[in-house]
């Protein structure tokens, strides 16, 4: 079931755009401007509209540490208690 949650954009712009966030199965599906905002009249910048793409895809869920090899692109998951270990 799709829910609509009224919220504001977290960016620190001067407009503070009102957003309608469409949520389905606890996942943000779509955002759009809310016409109740007298300043923006429902307009939302590209950053506000693109939130579902940015927060759902490739989201880091656990702390990572770069692998030992100097130029390795691999990152290892570390536990929350070990995330500040630099040894």
* pLDDT tens column, 5-63: 999 888 777 778 889 999 998 888 899 999 998 888 888 888 888 888 777 656 667 77
**Number of domains comprising the chain:** 1
Residue 3: per-residue pLDDT: 94
In a domain, 83, yes or no: no
What CATH number is associated with residue 51?
2.20.25.90
Residue 6: per-residue pLDDT: 93
- Cα–Cα distance for residue pair 68/86, rounded to 1 Å: 11
In a domain, 85, yes or no: no
In a domain, 77, yes or no: no
How much is the pTM?
Answer: 0.59
Q: Is the pLDDT of residue 71 over 70?
A: no
In a domain, 12, yes or no: yes
In a domain, 40, yes or no: yes
Q: What's the domain range around 37?
A: 3-56
In a domain, 84, yes or no: no
Instruction: Enter the tokens of residue 86.
Output: 């630099």
- Cα–Cα distance for residue pair 19/1, rounded to 1 Å: 19
- 8 with 36: CB under 8 angstroms? no
In a domain, 80, yes or no: no
Q: Is the dihedral of CA 17, 46, 32, 6 positive or negative?
A: negative
């Amino acid at each position: 079931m799709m829910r609509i949650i009224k919220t504001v954009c977290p960016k620190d712009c001067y407009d503070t755009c009102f957003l309608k966030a469409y949520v389905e199965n606890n996942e943000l599906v779509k955002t759009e401007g809310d016409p109740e905002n007298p300043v923006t009249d429902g307009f939302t910048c590209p950053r506000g509209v693109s939130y579902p793409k940015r927060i759902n895809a490739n989201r880091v869920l656990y702390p990572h540490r770069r692998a030992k090899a100097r130029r390795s692109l691999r990152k290892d998951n570390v536990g929350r208690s070990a995330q500040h270990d630099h040894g």
